[in-house]
Amino acid sequence: MTPTAPLRLGYVGLGNIGGPMAEKLARGDSPLTVYDLDETAVAKLVDAGASAATSLAQLGTDADIISICVVDDAQVRTVVNGLLTAAPSGTIIAIHSTINPATAVELAQAASASGVVVVDAPISGGAQGAAQGRLAVMVGGPREAYERIKPAFAPVSDLLVHAGDVGAGTRMKLARNLLHFISFAASAEASRLAEAAGIDLSKLGRVVRHTDAITGGAGAIMLRDTTAPIAPDDFWYGIFSHVRDLGEKDLSLASELASQVGVELRLGDIALANLGAWLGVPRTDQEADN
């Protein structure tokens, strides 16, 4: 039996995340062809074992699965349209850039006319995760395409999930990044409180990183498959009501401290007012009165 030829991979966009991703792929078992306007970035990948395409059209003919990691929707459109001038039917184009979900849907529909499959496959983990080969990749598109790219992306990802149809990967990424950047804002608010209260911020940061590594941080409570209110006889009710009770107590104490040191806690006040309801365990009228 003739052995099956390895899938040919392509990569467009060799920046802070795309560069390390492509380098991991270049050192894998599948041949890799890259394209970027930055000749230095391309040369680095060639040194790692990749081949260089002189145009998007050439890359479209030289790869079976093509990754795109560029800045925004406009650049994604330009790259996809360039690839579609030559990519044969059956080619898969995976968009790693964080874009509008509607853009991915639109490009997938346009590509389907020539038999090319476009999936949105945004990534989480940043440059560090790319360098370590530990990215999370959220794929929106046909299940068959997901199964085909899964082994190809093994060198760069230790968590690949099928989010649903085209656009679902990006919707998942936007929800994930909502948490990410709100937590950054919360970190800044907590730091202002700590600073006003005379706390060494570098030591506070060490404590936060230490305990989040143990508890899992905010992701530790993302265990349910719905945001609906939790019935009192549900398994999760006791767990989440305990979280609510602890959270309300500590948020109240933080609010008192903020009043003493003259710091406004906008996020803290919102969390205190809504924690129970948002966790799915709102207090009853009787509990609220006690």
Owner of token pair 């099956």: 4
CB atoms within 10 A of CB 255: 17
SS3 state of residue 123? strand
Instruction: Give the Cα-Cα-Cα angle 217, 222, 228 (nearest 5 degrees).
Output: 140
Contacts of 138 by beta carbon, 8 Å cutoff, 6+ apart:
121, 122, 123, 124, 161, 163, 168, 169, 170, 172, 173, 176
Q: How many residues does the chain have?
A: 290
Owner of token pair 């205190």: 272
For the CA atoms of 14, 18, 23, 26, what is the dihedral angle to 10 degrees? -90
Tokens of 195: 């600073």
For the CA atoms of 30, 24, 61, 120, what is the dihedral angle to 10 degrees? 110
Catalytic residue numbers read: 173
Burial class, 203, CB count within 10 angstroms (exposed 0-12 / middle 13-18 / buried 19+): exposed
